[in-house]
Amino acid sequence: MTTSSEIQELAIVTGASTGMGAATARELARRKFHVLAGVRRDQDANAIRGPGVEPVILDITNADHIRSLVHRVQSDPQGRAVRALVNNAAVQANVPVEVFAINEWRRMFEVNLFGHVAMTQALLPALIRSRGRVINISSVGGKVAMATYGPYAATKFALEAVSDSLRREMAPLGVGVVVIEPGAVRTEMLDRAIATADKLVSAMTPEQNQRYGPLVHAVNSQAASSTKSGLSADAAARVVAKAVTASKPRTRYTIGREAAVIRLVGLMPDRTLDRILSAALRPHYPKGSKDHSIATAGHQVRDHHHPE
């Protein structure tokens, strides 16, 4: 017979090596879950291992890894039920549509969408038995596709759609489906995204660089600036944990002040939103660039249109 202080249920968190994933794994462990924390390298496993956190090597695009995880769940030595699957793993690169190679588009969809679908399909039988919960980590980019966010936003828009459909399919079966939409959160993901963007930009043709170089610089500068003032990964993890544990969770939770802006998106004409996003980006262009001059001249009368 178990006592109330003993861990009763399993929670699975993908992309748990760093950032929100690692913070979520630890937060759920503090709340007495036994967390299977998906990581891709042994060194990450050693870093995340702790009371209530069991690392598992998991690349969500690898079918063998997913099968191994399912076997681990099915053969749990204590017969614990699965309370939640937190689909958190993601890759990001802020690159113009023209420049992002098609094989890179496919890779991003494999990680940010198809991998989550594969994980969900594999674990739904266990979640249906336990009347558990699927938590999909989306983004502000799942509602608003800013310049250079096309590939990343496309995967998150798609994840939002899959989540809506899955929620309606699972409602009669007692499985909750919740979307988390973070804005700026202080994690290592931004540094990786900027490094990826810089690598891809360095391979642009001179013509492409003339078209997009200042824009990519501005977007990365804006992202770095907003992230510095963003929420900590621990604060974001508490929102995810709330979505896992609430008796009547919302269908969506936003994280951060930028995320709150998405509530207004559906109320604005597209051109108005375009102007707001352009005005917010204007201060981040390299001084003296043609794009900075055009943006400044084109939006001098629109300074009040600022998303914050």
What DSSP assignment string belongs to 104-149? HHHHHHIIIIIHHHHHHHHHHHHHHHHT-EEEEE--GGGT---TT-
Q: What is the pLDDT of residue 198?
A: 75
Task: Write the single-letter amino acid at 130.
Answer: S
Lowest mean pLDDT among 54-68, 248-262, 273-287: 248-262
pTM above threshold 0.85: yes
Q: What is the pLDDT of residue 268?
A: 85
Q: What is the pLDDT of residue 52?
A: 97
Q: What is the pLDDT of residue 134?
A: 98
Which value, to the nearest 10 degrees, does the dihedral of the CA atoms of residues 259, 38, 68, 161 take? 10
Question: In whole angstroms, what is the distance from residue 75 CA to residue 152 CA?
Answer: 36
100 close to 93: Cβ distance less than 8 angstroms: yes
Token pair in block for residue 179: 């979307």
Percentage of residues in the chain having pLDDT higher than 90: 69
Choose the catalytic residue: 17, 138, 139, 163: 138
Question: In whole angstroms, what is the distance from residue 300 CA to residue 285 CA?
Answer: 15
Place of tokens 């501005």: 218
Query: At residue 296, does pLDDT exceed 60?
Result: no
Q: What is the pLDDT of residue 266?
A: 74
Q: What is the pLDDT of residue 224?
A: 79
Is 138 noted as a catalytic residue in this protein? yes
Question: In whole angstroms, what is the distance from residue 14 CA to residue 205 CA?
Answer: 36
Task: State which H helix or E strand residue 133 sits in.
Answer: strand 133-137
Is 212 noted as a catalytic residue in this protein? no
Question: In whole angstroms, what is the distance from residue 137 CA to residue 243 CA?
Answer: 11
- Cβ-in-10-Å burial (0-12, 13-18, 19+) of 263 comes to exposed
**Is CATH 3.40.50.720 the right assignment for the domain spanning 9-205+232-263?**
yes
The whole-chain average pLDDT of the chain stands at: 87
Task: State which H helix or E strand residue 162 sits in.
Answer: helix 150-170
Query: At residue 139, does pLDDT exceed 90?
Result: yes
Of 125, 118, 135, nearest in space to 60 by CA: 118
Choose the catalytic residue: 17, 139, 149, 152: 152
> pLDDT, tens digit, for every residue of 206-259?
999 999 999 998 988 888 777 666 688 999 999 999 999 999 999 999 988 766
Cα separations (Å) of 127 from 19, 134, 216?
Answer: 25, 8, 42
Other C-beta atoms closer than 10 Å to the C-beta of 169 total 12
